[in-house]
Amino acid sequence: MVPTAENPAPASTDTHFDVVVIGGGPGGYASALYGASAGLNVAMIERQRIGGTCLHVGCIPAKELLETAAVHRTVSHAKEFGVLADAPGLDFGVTQDRKQGVIDQLVDGLKGLLKGRKVTVLDGTGRLDADHRTVHVSGGESGDVSITGDAVILAAGSAVRTIPGFDVDGTLVVTSDELLSLRELPERAVVIGGGAIGCEFASMMSDLGTEVTILEALPKILPGVDKDAAQIVERSFKKRGITVETGVQVTGHTPGERGTTVHVDGGEDIETDMVVVSVGRRPFTDLLGLDQTGVSVDDRGFIEVDENCRTSVDGVWAVGDIVPTAQLAHIGFAEGMVAIRDILGEDPQPVDYARLPWCIYCHPEVAFAGYSEEAAKEAGYDVVVSKHRYIGNGRAKIIGDTDGLVKVIAEKGPDGEAGRILGVHMVGPWVTEQLGQAYMAVNWEATVAEAAAFIQPHPTLSENLGETLMALTGRSLH
Ligand code: FAD
Ligand code: NAI
């Protein structure tokens, strides 16, 4: 596919490209930018807004509102530091304007990058033709055009999922799409689903004065997160006044004069002003025209791919939330790069899905890479575990944020000693910014002795990782 002297590609024209990407979210724009930086002539089609879920109704707006919550929390505790600020008020409209400003700047930057790399951006809905090379574009400012690509990458992303009995009306029942643009927060909110979105929103709203109840169907919130870490989040939420009910089933809601009443199977009704449904996201293949193409889709609607993101059809790749891997922006980036390298014939290193970096930005934050203790045991490992709480860490005391721990899960060697690091799970202050070295240790398959030998600067929060690793070597400082 890369034009060479021996194997010239068809001349690029206004309608023929080396790669055509459908979707302009993280998976799509990463494919386009990385491909263009490798010299490929790329077209990218986007039907709504460049940047996708992540920039407009996902990562960026959610983290921006969580930052408002953090500022509010800091000012609320200012007196403890002798800073005599008034009790903080909230003008959520200003918050929303600031959020939009951040998004606009990032979108402008992204458009600049695409232009700079000469990616042809088409505004409209892309549909793959049965010939697997032609993509029909329609319904947008680019008009009705058909373009062809030597390779096509599908990156149409995902959409919110809802549940029966909770039709989204944008006022009483909302999803992340609507909540992120509210001009005012409700006094009371019931959050259905205690996953990543549920916990981030519950934390944000609670910090900003909303009375929040989380209703989670499973026995614990934050599925996939190590039990000890999830327990700390749940305990911390409860201390802050968030009600967390696990193992519950909701059956529907009845609107009243003020707000609505949520019905819980076998439990008490809950009156609230707003229901936030955060029960996962579904792949959005609706407009790709896959029926005619033979591209295989699994029983949940995800496009099936191999480790190089190839679909069941030659010349067509798929990346991001549309494939059945972790629905994270950085995984979309990584898969986009794998697809491009495969298109270039470079034999890419596939994404190692068992050792991804995960960060959840509720308060306290959660960050992890690799096996949880439970998952490691289930996978048949004999493990050694060490945990260190932030309560003993100097920097955590200085910033007044001591809830949390670092937990290292290591493989037990034949001598009974801790060997290779299998997973690191962190909960506490700024752990999303501390995960980097733990992620590298897990992915470099470092042993605890190797990783513990590195010096952690003092006083930092990352000393807690150093101490946890050192404890596994049988010696310790603090
Ligand atoms: P999307 O971002 O959904 O982009 C797909 C794009 O394709 C869309 O712009 C869509 O309009 C377009 N499209 C669809 N069909 C067509 C078509 N036929 N023709 C043309 N265009 C089409 N992830 C993280 O890593 N960190 C976080 O902190 C984080 N926070 C999140 C918070 C929330 C509230 C939500 C909802 C998600 C969050 N995510 C986070 C997940 C992250 O947003 C997604 O994993 C990421 O956006 C997926 O990228 P994508 O390119 O696959 O899909
Ligand atoms: P999720 O899959 O993380 O969590 C959904 C939760 O809802 C689960 O705990 C599930 O058990 C629960 N649930 C499902 N049906 C239910 C029901 N009927 N009643 C009660 N609970 C129910 O999905 P979520 O939180 O919607 O997020 C979607 C995706 O977005 C995530 O998979 C994640 O990849 C991504 N995301 C990532 C973030 C991050 O990385 N910081 C932040 C927000 C989202």
**For the residues 41-56, what does the mean pLDDT come to?**
98
Q: Over 80: is that where the pLDDT of 3 sits?
A: no
| Rounded-to-10 torsion of CA 187, 188, 194, 199 | 20
Residue 125 included in any domain: yes
- Candidates 230, 472, 224, 471; CA nearest to 372 is 224
Closest ligand, as measured to the CA of 198: 2
Q: CATH number for the domain including 266? A: 3.50.50.60
Residues 426-444 pLDDT 10s = 999 999 999 999 999 999 9
- Domain co-membership, 267 together with 323: no
Residue 237 included in any domain: yes
Closest ligand, as measured to the CA of 200: 2
CB count, 10 Å around CB of 159? 15
Residues 324-349 pLDDT 10s = 999 999 999 999 999 999 999 999 99
Residue 342 included in any domain: yes
- Domain co-membership, 329 together with 389: no
Q: Rounded CA gap, 129 and 134, in Å?
A: 5
Residues with CB under 6 A from ligand 2: 163, 192-198, 200, 215-218, 223, 250, 278-281, 326-328, 359-361
Closest ligand, as measured to the CA of 124: 1
Residues with CB under 6 A from ligand 1: 22-28, 45-48, 52-54, 57-59, 62-63, 125-126, 155-158, 176, 197, 284, 287-288, 320-322, 327-330, 332
- Domain co-membership, 286 together with 151: yes
Contact 254, 261 (CB under 8 A): yes
Dig out the tokens for 183 from the structure. Answer: 């001009």
**For the residues 33-60, what does the mean pLDDT come to?**
98
Position 5 confidence tier, pLDDT thresholds 50, 70, 90: very low
Residues 103-140 pLDDT 10s = 999 999 999 999 999 999 999 999 999 999 999 999 99
Q: Rounded CA gap, 207 and 220, in Å?
A: 22
Residue 64 included in any domain: no
- Domain co-membership, 458 together with 371: yes
Q: Please name the residue that has the structure tokens 């800091």.
A: 74
Residues 163-180 pLDDT 10s = 999 999 999 999 999 999
Position 86 confidence tier, pLDDT thresholds 50, 70, 90: confident
Going from the Cα of 59 to the center of ligand 2, the distance in angstroms, rounded, reads 13
Sign (positive or negative) of CA dihedral 404, 277, 48, 11: positive
Position 12 confidence tier, pLDDT thresholds 50, 70, 90: low
Domain that holds residue 405: 364-472
Helix ranges, 20-91 (H): 26-37, 52-57, 59-76
Q: What is the pLDDT of residue 429?
A: 97
Going from the Cα of 155 to the center of ligand 1, the distance in angstroms, rounded, reads 9
- Domain co-membership, 209 together with 264: yes
Domains contained in the chain, number: 3
Atom 33, ligand 1: which residue's CA is nearest? 58
Dig out the tokens for 48 from the structure. Answer: 């709504």
Q: Over 60: is that where the pLDDT of 383 sits?
A: yes
Residue 417 included in any domain: yes
Q: Over 60: is that where the pLDDT of 8 sits?
A: no
- Domain co-membership, 244 together with 369: no
Position 13 confidence tier, pLDDT thresholds 50, 70, 90: low
| 71 contacts: CB under 8 Å, gap ≥ 6 | 88
Sign (positive or negative) of CA dihedral 438, 443, 447, 451: negative
Q: Which of 31, 33, 54 to mutate to test ligand 1, by most ligand atoms within 8 A of the CB atom?
A: 54
- Domain co-membership, 462 together with 327: no
Mean pLDDT of the chain: 96
- Domain co-membership, 347 together with 400: no
Q: CATH number for the domain including 374? A: 3.30.390.30
**Amino acid (one-letter) located at 285:** T
- Domain co-membership, 211 together with 274: yes
CA-based diameter of the chain, in Å? 74
- Domain co-membership, 340 together with 463: no
Atom 37, ligand 2: which residue's CA is nearest? 196
Q: Over 90: is that where the pLDDT of 299 sits?
A: yes
Helix ranges, 38-190 (H): 52-57, 59-76, 92-116, 176-179
| 443 contacts: CB under 8 Å, gap ≥ 6 | 352, 355, 369
Helix ranges, 353-430 (H): 373-378, 394-399
Residue 4 included in any domain: no
Q: Rounded CA gap, 33 and 12, in Å?
A: 18
- Domain co-membership, 152 together with 289: yes
| 109 contacts: CB under 8 Å, gap ≥ 6 | none
Residues 219-245 pLDDT 10s = 999 998 999 999 999 999 999 999 999
- Domain co-membership, 430 together with 302: no
Position 4 confidence tier, pLDDT thresholds 50, 70, 90: very low
**Active site amino acids:** 458
